[in-house]
Structure 1
Amino acid sequence: MIDLATWNLSIPEGSPPATISTPLLVQGFKDQYFNSETGTLFFWAPVTGAKTENAIYPRSELRETYSNGTLRNWLYSAADNKLAATLTVNQVPSSGKIVIGQIHAKDSTSPMVKLEYQYKTYSSTGNIVAKVRMRPDDESGQVITIATGIKLNQSFSYLIHLSPAGVLTINGAGYQWNTNISNTWSDKPLYFKAGVYVQDNTGYVTEGGKVTFSMLDIDHNL
Structure 2
Amino acid sequence: MLSALLLSGCASSGKRDSGHDSAKAKAPNGAPAAPASSGPPPAVKWRGVPLLSAAPRPPEADFVRRWKLTLPVNQVGAPSGTAVELPVAAPTAPWLSRAADGSLTFWAPVAGARTANSEHARTELVSTRDFSFGSAVHMLSALLSVAQAPSETNDVCVGQVHGGGPIRSVAFVMLHWRDGNIVAVVKQALQGSDSRTVTVFAGVPLGARFGYTITDQGNGSVAITVTYNGETRQVTRHAKAVFLGTDERFQAGDYQQAVTSGSPADGGRVTFYGLTAS
> Unaligned 5+ residue runs, structure 2?
1-6, 9-61, 75-80
What whole-Å deviation, never above 9, does each CA across 1:32-65 have from its counterpart, x for those lacking one?
0001243011100000011111210100000001
Q: In 1, distance between residues paired with 2:199 and 2:238?
A: 17
- Identify, as 1 or 2, the structure richer in strand: 1
Local SS of the residue matching 2:242: helix
Letter in 2 for 1:13: V
Runs in 1 of length 4+ with deviation above 3 angstroms?
A: none
Q: In 1, distance between residues paired with 2:202 and 2:135?
A: 33
- The residue number in structure 1 matching 2:274 is 215
CA RMSD of aligned residues (A): 1.5
- The residue number in structure 1 matching 2:134 is 77
- The residue number in structure 2 matching 1:20 is 86
- The residue number in structure 2 matching 1:206 is 265
> Unaligned 5+ residue runs, structure 1?
66-71, 120-125
- The residue number in structure 1 matching 2:239 is 181
Q: In 2, distance between residues paired with 1:201 and 1:96?
A: 12
Q: In 2, distance between residues paired with 1:99 and 1:9?
A: 15
Q: In 1, distance between residues paired with 2:218 and 2:110?
A: 37
Local SS of the residue matching 2:134: helix
Task: Report deviation, 1:205.
Answer: 0.3
- The residue number in structure 2 matching 1:10 is 70
- The residue number in structure 1 matching 2:93 is 31
- Residue 197 of structure 1 pairs with residue 255 of structure 2: yes
Q: In 2, distance between residues paired with 1:138 and 1:178?
A: 23
- Residue 127 of structure 1 pairs with residue 181 of structure 2: yes
8 Å Cα contact 1:63-1:194 kept in structure 2:
yes
Mapping 1:33-52, distance limit 5 Å? 33-38=95-100, 39-52=102-115
- The residue number in structure 2 matching 1:104 is 162
8 Å Cα contact 1:135-1:181 kept in structure 2:
no
Provide closer, same or farther for how the CA distance between residues 138 and 132 of structure 1 changes in structure 2, counting only shifts above 3 A: farther
Q: In 1, distance between residues paired with 2:168 and 2:273?
A: 30
Q: In 2, distance between residues paired with 1:180 and 1:108?
A: 21
Letter in 2 for 1:183: A
Task: Report deviation, 1:139.
Answer: 2.6
The one of 86, 90, 103 aligned to 2:147: 90
Task: Report deviation, 1:136.
Answer: 2.6
- The residue number in structure 1 matching 2:45 is none
Local SS of the residue matching 1:184: helix
The number of residue pairs the alignment matches comes to 203
- The residue number in structure 2 matching 1:60 is 123
8 Å Cα contact 1:102-1:193 kept in structure 2:
yes
- The residue number in structure 2 matching 1:143 is 197
- The residue number in structure 2 matching 1:117 is 177
**TM-score normalised by L of structure 2:** 0.70
Letter in 2 for 1:58: A
After TM superposition, the structure 1 stretch with the greater mean CA deviation from structure 2, 174-183 or 86-95, is 174-183
Q: In 2, distance between residues paired with 1:137 and 1:49?
A: 26
